[in-house]
């Protein structure tokens, strides 16, 4: 999804409470290629993140467009999020 919508303004950022060195190690081990924001406990609190993984679609003004609080990977719900992206990003 990241590569598909990047040219239309989508920015994917991973947020973690982990220390920077742990976040970097995780990225290397799992092949994460998007930016990671380590030590982001305040972001978790501000957006009500209770567990990981969590999926949030947040617009540039900080408004939450999609708040998927189900536990688990994103892939089964990608269609719902893509529909929202299509509406919000336009052509």
pLDDT in the model for residue 42? 85
Length of the chain (residues):
91
Each residue's pLDDT tens digit, 31-75: 988 888 887 788 888 888 887 777 778 878 888 877 776 655 555
Residues sharing a CB contact under 8 Å with residue 59, sequence separation 6 or more, in sequence order: 65, 88
pLDDT in the model for residue 51? 77
pLDDT in the model for residue 76? 52
d(CA 22, CA 26): 6
Is a pLDDT exceeding 60 seen at residue 89? yes
Residue whose entry in the numeric block shows the structure tokens 């081990």: 29
What's the pTM? 0.66
């Amino acid at each position: 999804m990241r590569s598909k919508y990047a040219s239309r303004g989508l920015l994917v950022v991973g947020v973690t409470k982990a220390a920077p060195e742990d976040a970097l190690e995780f990225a290397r081990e799992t092949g994460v290629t998007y930016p990671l924001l380590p030590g982001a406990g305040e972001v978790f609190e501000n957006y009500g993140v209770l567990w990981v993984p969590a999926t949030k679609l947040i617009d540039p003004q900080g408004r939450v467009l999609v708040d998927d609080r189900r536990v688990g990977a994103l892939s089964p719900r990608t269609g719902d999020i893509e529909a929202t992206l299509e509406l919000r990003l336009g052509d």
